[in-house]
A and B are shown apart, each in its own frame.
Chain A
């Protein structure tokens, strides 16, 4: 029974790993958390962008109203532009708050990446190399002096045990924390994305006091109608102002309205995909199943976000100042 210590250590290690592995995320789950986090990181700016785009279009509509020839009164035009400028600045300032909740989800996703990374474990691997060397020397010296020699692989085994137990303990704690956070965050992510979709989509929404407000979708539609009615009355029905440039301005503005609406739709889709992806992540973390489906979800989300990004790029240069 001289070699029993090695076997005992290996057996103890195997038992230890068997018990602790029950609470350890699979590598694919950890990878999926990272994929979700990477996707969330490329997401956040869009709702605020749609709001800023709408503010710019509204500013143009105000200019169109003020430019009506019969409106021509220096004082009234100055008053209108002062109000329009103030309203535009207020909206731009407010627009950043549309992204706050997504920035927090982004921060959460970043912390998920940090918590699921193996940097805690890789630190330990570096340390056990010198430990293995010292133990190896110790075994050699012992064997040169003792009658009953120790197994040559003992130093390596002890070194590996310390490394594996350390890794396993860290991974176990890491996994427990990740599970707790993903499950706790799911409710918050679902509520936030649902609220986001509610105010961006549909026709109206109600606040905490029961007041009804137009959704961003409705605001964009009303804004488009207002631009058309104002432009027809101020520019297109005025023979002294109707020319190629007036018509081109009208056309470009309508295109910009349509693109803003398109961008809004893509933000809504991306929000829904984000919610679905996190729900799947939470479900899989809970059930500890293979994450092929969630990988597909995440890939779909990446495609949605990329599509939204392309749509955003296509907007630049389309908005022209009123003639």
Chain B
């Protein structure tokens, strides 16, 4: 089904204008005036509904790829964490080499590795 909301909205607005004009007729009875006021209110409610439906359809369309974007950002967070771990591992290797050098210095100073 293809509903033309824009045309419907334009028709509703035209109808409201006609009802507003009709309300100016001085020969109307109080009952007729009340009926026209109710009709204006009903049309205004319909106008609000059409606008809300349109806005909701816009939101649905704009956010169509949100689930995929969320999955991508989650993956990026995960990768960032892994990169941090990699840097930490490299840091540890560097520390181990540094510690080994320090131990060797102490051993050489103490004469334990003196026979070079």
B contact patch SS: helix
Partner among B41, B48, B65 whose Cβ is within 8 Å of the Cβ of A76: B41
Q: Are B33 and A70 in contact (CB under 8 A)?
A: yes
> Which of A201-209, A293-301, A313-321 has 4 or more CB atoms under 8 Å from chain B?
A201-209
Assembly CA distance A174 to B16 (angstroms): 61
Across-interface contacts of B41 in A (CB, < 8 A): 76, 79-80, 83
Contacts A173-B86, A212-B5: A47 and B62 contacting too (C-beta < 8 A)? yes
Contacts A70-B23, A204-B6: A195 and B76 contacting too (C-beta < 8 A)? no
> Which of A20-28, A93-101, A284-292 has 4 or more CB atoms under 8 Å from chain B?
A93-101
Total contacting residues, chain A, CB less than 8 A = 89
Across-interface contacts of A225 in B (CB, < 8 A): 13
B46-72 interface with A by 8 A CB criterion: 47-48, 51-66, 68-70, 72
Seed contacts A79-B41, A162-B97, A195-B61; 14 additional CB < 8 Å A-B pairs:
A84-B44, A101-B62, A112-B76, A120-B87, A130-B98, A137-B105, A138-B105, A166-B93, A174-B83, A192-B69, A212-B2, A212-B5, A218-B6, A222-B13
* A residues whose Cβ falls under 8 Å from a Cβ of B: 47, 51, 58, 62, 65, 68, 70-71, 73, 76, 79-80, 83-84, 87, 90-91, 94, 97-98, 100-101, 104-105, 107-108, 111-112, 114-115, 120-121, 123-124, 127-128, 130-131, 134-135, 137-138, 141-142, 145-147, 158, 162-163, 166, 169-170, 173-174, 177, 181, 184-185, 188, 191-192, 195-196, 198-199, 203-216, 218-219, 222, 225-226, 229-230, 233-234
